[in-house]
Chain A
């Protein structure tokens, strides 16, 4: 049974840092591409980071490029999002998501989300 649980959200000040984690079970990270998708309060979905199953392809949205870094630890069944130089507009619920069938670029399984609030 696929399970995914995010943690690490919370409050931060502009310019600060947070590290989100997503612990997974029921599958191996090395078999599937993974993503982080966020949703600002009352708004739509925004894809921000992607890591391929091989680990050879990483993409970040322009809105977070140079500030956020996606990574994983296969042995710990964990996906990470290092968030530096946070801005007020980064306030959102952050979801980790697993691709449908390997490297489809369609997220099938999602965590419940973790809230990040950036304010001074």
Chain B
């Protein structure tokens, strides 16, 4: 199975700051990676697919990059609603797997 390792586990930032989240795959997955946001009590929300493509309706402050084994989600300027948990997910191989998550919390 492909293991996705997300870092850091927790990111403490203030509104308006830039957030940089990392996801590392145990084997190369080309660009077959997505990012999700999950707010408390809600279902996950697809943000980015194929490493760098924003899903429908996702604001431009969210961007993704990377290929192979190293991927990054960047939130250029944090809005209050962006404080949440973020997961990466790979579709390079079955079983499809998620990373353990990064919590972005208010500093």
Interface, chain A (partner B; CB < 8 A): 35, 37, 44-47, 50, 59, 61-62, 95, 100, 104-108, 110-113
A72 to B96, CA, bound (A): 20
A26 to B96, CA, bound (A): 26
A106 to B42, CA, bound (A): 18
Tell me if A113 and B87 are in contact (CB < 8 A): no
Closest 3 CB pairs of A and B: A110-B43, A105-B91, A45-B98
Tell me if B95 and A44 are in contact (CB < 8 A): no
Q: A46-B98, A108-B55 are in contact. List 14 more A-B contacts (CB 8 A).
A: A37-B44, A44-B87, A44-B101, A45-B38, A45-B87, A45-B98, A50-B96, A59-B94, A95-B44, A100-B49, A105-B91, A107-B44, A112-B43, A113-B43
By a CB distance below 8 angstroms, the chain A residues around B56 are: 108
A59 to B42, CA, bound (A): 25
- Nearest CB of chain B from residue A34's CB, rounded to whole Å: 13
Can you spell out 26 A-B residue pairs with CB atoms less than 8 angstroms apart? A37-B44, A44-B87, A44-B98, A44-B101, A45-B36, A45-B89, A45-B98, A45-B101, A47-B95, A47-B97, A47-B98, A62-B95, A95-B44, A100-B46, A100-B49, A100-B55, A104-B91, A105-B91, A105-B96, A106-B34, A106-B91, A108-B55, A108-B56, A110-B43, A111-B43, A112-B42
Tell me if A47 and B96 are in contact (CB < 8 A): yes
Tell me if B95 and A108 are in contact (CB < 8 A): no
Question: What is the chain A residue whose CB lies nearest that of B34?
Answer: A106
By a CB distance below 8 angstroms, the chain A residues around B42 are: 112
The dominant DSSP class at the B interface is: loop
- Nearest CB of chain A from residue B45's CB, rounded to whole Å: 8
Tell me if A104 and B44 are in contact (CB < 8 A): no
By a CB distance below 8 angstroms, the chain B residues around A61 are: 95
B100 within 8 A of A: yes
Q: Which of A44, A45, A50, A104 has the most CB of B within 10 A?
A: A45
